[in-house]
A and B are shown apart, each in its own frame.
Chain A
């Protein structure tokens, strides 16, 4: 499995975090995952990811920090 690609979108103004995740997800290699560091759960991003054929799961929740993983459906 390819190494996770990691992005931190905490300093970005909406909708840039969503745009960046969608762009980076589209560049994922087969079986590669995207690990996103956000400061809150981006509920509105999930349907956009699902529509493009991606799955996601919560990876870690900390103080002012929310991490989740994104991968292509079928790669799990």
Chain B
């Protein structure tokens, strides 16, 4: 018998590598809610207004970006067998550049300050460059499985998103205006939400859905072809958009929407075939997220057929609230509730065996606290989606969303507190 090398403790990243990202992410959700409360219904005047851009980036770069970067630092060694070298220093560097970068960018938009936007460009540009280079080196020697292949496409999409984002930010930083700003914004947005966020959620779900929700594996053709398929479709869509091929743009867009609908349908179907029949918070978050994804895809398709809907200024807000708040925040929130307690259990297991009893998952993060936060999130999303139709709804929506994010933060801090208290037993 030949022992297999496997993963050593040196390769498994220290707990703070992913946790500094996970514990900071909900703070940006709270800041997004405060921005909504501050701006009120005026926010819906136009998606191009700086406060709307501040809100979007607090959620996408702040909440989602941090949670997803943290997850990649954790998953690359475990799933792809390819740890990021010097994970602690790299993660500290990325974190130290991105957190002030997001704060500066949002402040730059809210205060209409070109100086802050220029500073944000430097911070975010160098933070993402560091992350992308470190991950690219790691992914080069990654195991060849659908998740690591999907992660490669997601990181390529992040590179496209960040590049176009920097071009757009330079408009605000130096006051020059590129002629096709609307096209470039659409490309930045599509690659960010569908390429980076969408493909990463899809790729990560191949691992975490069967593992934590005890479902059968995703069908092999779907897991193999969906990330590269989405990537190619996004390339085609971009070429059609830049080439002003107006008849072909919705065709590529429709194909992307159908691919995501297929993914949502398969995920919901797999969840009906779980080996464990009792529902839990993560499962409910994922079902809610998939339902929101199907709804937003339907509304997008409706917008293609009905020009009046597409021309309504509230329409991009409706789609954004449902895609970001309803779909992505829900699945990320649900996964945080599995990954955090699991990692805490793992790190305590490695340190405390033979010294003290290891707390179980429910002791690390009590079900009741998670359910309370989940109910608030489930109430906030429809209110946020309806607010572009009935603008005064923005106040209760923002308030409930903000409290939900605050409770998520306190729940995560509670779990980390369990880790720290138990660790003291070692010393």
Contact = CB atoms under 8 A, between A and B. Distances in A.
B6 A40 contact: no
A50 interface: yes
Contact of A10 (B9, B275, B361): B275
Interface string A38-71: 0110011011101110011110000010000101
Interface residues of B, number: 30
A44 to B, nearest CB: 6
Contacts of B211: 14, 40
A43 B7 contact: yes
Interface residues of A, number: 26
Contact of A15 (B4, B9, B361): B361
Contacts of A14: 211-212, 338, 342
A3 interface: no
B4 A57 contact: yes
Interface string B215-250: 011000000000000000000000000000000000
Interface string B341-371: 0100110011001000000010000000000
A43 B13 CA distance: 13
A55 B3 contact: yes
B34 interface: no
A18 interface: yes
A44 B4 contact: no
B78 interface: yes
A57 B275 contact: no
B7 A44 contact: yes
A47 B210 CA distance: 22
8 tightest Cβ-Cβ pairs between the two chains A and B: A46-B6, A55-B3, A11-B275, A43-B7, A47-B9, A57-B1, A15-B345, A43-B78
Given A18-B349, A46-B6, A58-B4, 20 more contacts: A11-B276, A13-B276, A15-B345, A15-B349, A15-B361, A22-B353, A43-B81, A46-B4, A46-B7, A47-B6, A47-B350, A56-B3, A57-B1, A57-B2, A57-B3, A57-B4, A64-B216, A64-B217, A76-B1, A76-B3
